[in-house]
């Protein structure tokens, strides 16, 4: 689903920028991005975070004489740069989580990935005692832009939390006997279990199951947006509802969670009044 959304955005707007966690800083992900760029299928870039034990390489220095030219230069442990190049960090003002903050950063273009050696933009950030290493495949982005963009992930994580805990967006129960047992890890060269399904009836049932799951999540996303709009609409008071349900709900619940209960009660209360249900 993530791939489909990213490709749709890239085709619609001429490009897409994905804000991902450090799990997606991998060689397969970078190879897939490169293949999309070469084929003209899409123009996507990612902004993510690297692990503190990550290593990168300087650009190779071409030596005179015979032999294969080197693919990489000197190896650098990125965590050590916070100490060895501490004098090169520059203070900048950036917007992080909606607030103006002053951080120190060092921007470097280095090669990354064993055997891949793709040039990435690394931004080493120091905020008090905390150190972070941000990465972007887009070499045209400034260090302050990368820091600000990655700060938006906090809003994304909050949205996922609301979808999971308040709306129940990932509580779907759609399944099919035609769907094979999936494996968490596949051996190298081992085909995916879904590719081994050859019966057209089973494949059709699997497609219908996936379509139901995606439809459920899509409706949950719409419900999340509506709940947020209602919460903003009545941010200075409380909505009118029969039997004063809003006041009876526990105060420890967030406004969005209480509105979710109210909407559920009001929705099912209106069903007998319509002509669309027997």
Residue 44: what pLDDT? 83
pLDDT > 70: percent of the chain: 77
Q: Are the C-beta atoms of residues 119 and 110 closer than 8 Å to each other?
A: yes
Nearest by Cα to 261 from 223, 216, 214? 223
Going from the C-alpha of 176 to that of each of 20, 196, 197, 199, 209, the distances in angstroms are 31, 16, 13, 14, 7
Q: pLDDT: is 24 or 134 the higher one?
A: 134
Residue 242: what pLDDT? 45
Residue 82: what pLDDT? 96
Backbone torsions φ then ψ of 16, nearest 5 degrees: -145, 145
Band (21; pLDDT cuts 50, 70, 90): confident
pTM of the model: 0.70
Count CA within 13 A, CB hemisphere, residue 159.
13
Residue 69: what pLDDT? 85
Least confident of 11-20, 34-43, 165-174, 249-258: 249-258
The model's pLDDT over 137-150, given as tens digits with 9 standing for 90+, comes to 999 999 999 999 99
Mean pLDDT of 237-248: 51
Residue 120: what pLDDT? 96
Nearest by Cα to 134 from 92, 71, 73? 92
Nearest by Cα to 135 from 55, 43, 25, 2? 25
- What is the Cα Rg of the chain in Å? 25
Band (243; pLDDT cuts 50, 70, 90): very low
Alpha carbon distance 32, 58 (integer Å): 23
Going from the C-alpha of 63 to that of each of 72, 111, 162, the distances in angstroms are 12, 18, 56
pLDDT > 90: percent of the chain: 38
Residue 55 token pair: 């290593």
Q: 63 in helix, strand or coil?
A: coil
Q: 209 in helix, strand or coil?
A: helix
Residue 160: what pLDDT? 84
What is the DSSP secondary structure assignment for residue 41, as one 8-state letter? S
What is the DSSP secondary structure assignment for residue 275, as one 8-state letter? S
Checking DSSP bridges between strand 99-112 and strand 90-96, what pairing results, if any? antiparallel
Q: pLDDT: is 47 or 154 the higher one?
A: 47
18: pLDDT strictly greater than 60: yes
Q: Which range, 46-50, 172-176, 194-198, 250-254, has the best average confidence (pLDDT)?
A: 46-50
Where are the chain's structural domains?
2-58+70-151, 159-181+191-273
Band (4; pLDDT cuts 50, 70, 90): low
What residue ranges in 175-218 does DSSP mark as E strands? none
């Amino acid at each position: 689903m993530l791939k489909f959304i990213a490709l749709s955005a890239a085709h619609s707007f001429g490009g897409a920028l994905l804000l991902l966690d450090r799990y997606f800083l991998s060689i397969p992900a970078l190879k897939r991005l490169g293949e999309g760029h070469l084929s003209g299928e899409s123009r996507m870039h990612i902004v993510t975070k690297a692990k503190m034990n990550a290593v990168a390489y300087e650009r190779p220095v071409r030596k005179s004489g015979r032999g294969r030219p080197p693919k990489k230069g000197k190896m650098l442990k990125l965590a050590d740069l916070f100490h060895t190049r501490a004098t090169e960090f520059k203070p900048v003002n950036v917007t992080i989580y909606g607030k103006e903050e002053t951080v120190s950063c060092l921007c470097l273009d280095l090669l990354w990935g064993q055997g891949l050696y793709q040039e990435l933009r690394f931004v080493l950030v120091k905020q008090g005692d905390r150190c972070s290493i941000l990465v972007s495949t887009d070499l045209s982005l400034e260090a302050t832009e990368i820091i600000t963009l990655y700060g938006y992930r906090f809003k994304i994580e909050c949205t996922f939390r609301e979808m999971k805990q308040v709306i129940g967006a990932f509580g779907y129960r759609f399944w099919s006997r035609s769907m094979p047992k999936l494996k968490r890890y596949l051996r190298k060269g081992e085909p995916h279990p879904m590719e081994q399904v050859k019966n057209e009836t089973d494949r059709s049932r699997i497609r219908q199951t996936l379509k139901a799951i995606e439809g459920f999540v899509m409706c949950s996303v719409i419900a999340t947006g509506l709940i947020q709009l209602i919460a903003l609409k009545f941010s200075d008071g409380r909505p009118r509802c029969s039997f004063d349900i809003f006041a009876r709900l526990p105060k420890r619940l967030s406004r969005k969670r209480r509105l979710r209960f109210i909407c559920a009660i009001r929705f099912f209360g209106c069903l007998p009044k319509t002509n669309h249900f027997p």
